Amino acid sequence: MTATNRQQTSARTALVFGLALLAYLTSSGLGHTAYDNYVRLAQAFLHGSVSIPDPGPGIDALHYGSRFYIIEGPLPALFVLPAVMVFGVNANQSFVCVVCGAVAVTATDIVLGRMEVSQYARNATLAFVAVGTVLWWCTAFGAVWMYAHVAAVMLAMLVLAEMYGKRRAWLIGFLLVAAALSRFPLVLSAPPLIWWVLSESVPSERARRFASLCAGVAPLLLLYVAYNVARWGVPSDIGYTVWYHQDQVGQPTGSPFRLEYLPFNLYSLVMLAPEFSRAFPWFRPTSFGVSLTLTSPALAIALAGLRRNRESVALGTAAVLVALPSLFYYVNGFEQFGMRHSLDFLPFLIPLVGRGLERVPRIFAASSIGYSVAANAYGMWYSWAYHAYTVVPRF
C-alpha cells in the first residue's frame, strides 16, 4: 500500500467513525439509561469487589447469598471504567454504548475494505449495518442488555477485521473471548473461526498458531473463572440459571434453555409483527419486538454470498451456531424494537451480505436495504415519539 492509499484509508476510517458517532449520538438524545448495570459493576471493580449494593427493582442483579451480583457478561464494564473513574456512579453508560456502536460500524467498513468487495457493495453493506439493523436502536438506547449486544458486535467485527488482516492468532483468540464475555452465545463462533484460521495455515505452522491462539485466550478466560469463583464459589457461571429459577416468567428448576421455548422464538424471529391500530401511527410495535423479516430483510442477501469455500463454511456455521441459544432461551429479548438477539449472529452475516451484493440485482438490493433502513428509522421515531419502551430515557 502506497503512502497515498494509506492516507485515503485513514481518512475514510476517520470519516466513517465520525459520521457514525454523530448519527448515534443524535439518536440517543444524549440521555442516561436507568439500566446502568455496567456502571455499577465498574464501580464495584474499582473498589475491589464483584458484588454491588442493593440496586432496587429494575436492575438485573441476582440476590445470591447475602449479596447482589450482575449476571450479564462482565467485559463491557471494562469499557465503562474510565468514565466511572472520573464521574463515579454518574458515568454515562449510554455514551460509552454509542462509542462502541461507532467503532463497530468503523470495524465493519475495515472488514469490507480488506475483503476487497466493490465500492458499491462496501457502501451499501455499511449503510445497511449502521441504520438498517437493530444495531442502530440498541446503540441509541444503551441499557444493559443493548449495550452488551453492541459491545459484542464491536468485538466480533474486530475479530473479523483481524481475520481479513494480519491473522495474528493470539489477537484473534483474545478478541473472541472478549466478545463471548460480552454476549455468551458468541463462544459458539470460536470452533468454525479457529478452524478457518488453522485450515488456511501452512501445515507445519498449525501447532504453533494454535498455541499462540490459546495464549490469547488464556488471560481473559482465567480472569472469568476467577470472577465466577468469587461470585458463586465454582468456576462455571451459574448466574443465568439461578436467575431463571427466581424470575416470575422462569421456572423453579431446570435450565433456561428448553425445547418448549423454540416455537415462540422462531415465531418472534420470522413472523412477529407490530399491532395494527385504526388510529395514527397505525403500526404499533409491542415490547415483544418485531421480527427480523420485517425489520432487516436485507440480511437475506447473505444467502447469495455463500460459496463453496472456507470463508462461507466458517461464517455460515458461526452464524447458525451462535443463533441457536436464543432459539431455545426462555425469553425472546423483551422490551425491544426488532430482535436484539439477532445482533449475536449479525457480524458473521455481514461479510456474506457484502459478497452477496455483488451477485443480486441492484434493484433488489436497493429495495431491501431501503426498506430495512426505513423500518429501523420508524422504530427509532416510534420509540422517541411514544416512549414506547422502558429503556427509552425520560428527560
Quickly state the pLDDT bin for 5 (edges 50, 70, 90). confident
Is the full-model pTM beyond 0.95?
Answer: yes
Q: Look-up: residue for cell 488453522?
A: 198
What's at 215, amino acid-wise? A
pLDDT, residue 60, reads 85
Q: Which of 68, 21, 64 is nearest to 43 (CA)?
A: 68
Share of the chain above pLDDT 70, in %: 99
Residue 58 has pLDDT above 90, yes or no: no
Q: Look-up: residue for cell 484473534?
A: 172
> How many Cα atoms are found within 13 Å in the side-chain-facing hemisphere of 121?
24
pLDDT tens per residue, range 278-313:
999 999 999 999 999 999 999 999 999 999 999 999
Do residues 136 and 330 make contact, with C-beta atoms less than 8 angstroms apart? no
pLDDT tens per residue, range 196-245:
999 999 999 999 999 999 999 999 999 999 999 999 999 999 999 999 99
Sign of CA dihedral 54, 56, 61, 66: positive
Do residues 329 and 373 make contact, with C-beta atoms less than 8 angstroms apart? no
pLDDT tens per residue, range 161-183:
999 999 999 999 999 999 999 99
Average pLDDT for 90-103: 98
Structure-model confidence comparison of residues 2 and 283, the more confident one: 283
Residue 2 has pLDDT above 80, yes or no: no
Residue 257 has pLDDT above 70, yes or no: yes
pLDDT, residue 1, reads 64
Residue 67 has pLDDT above 70, yes or no: yes
pLDDT tens per residue, range 310-351:
999 999 999 999 999 999 999 999 899 999 999 999 999 999
> How many Cα atoms are found within 13 Å in the side-chain-facing hemisphere of 12?
18
DSSP per residue over 99-160, as a string?
Answer: HHHHHHHHHHHHHHHHHT--HHHHHHHHHHHHHSSTHHHHHHS--HHHHHHHHHHHHHHHHH
Q: Is the peptide bond before 281 cis (omega within 30 degrees of 0)?
A: yes
Residue 3 has pLDDT above 80, yes or no: no
pLDDT tens per residue, range 118-133:
999 999 999 999 999 9
Quickly state the pLDDT bin for 270 (edges 50, 70, 90). very high
Residue 395 has pLDDT above 70, yes or no: no
pLDDT, residue 329, reads 98
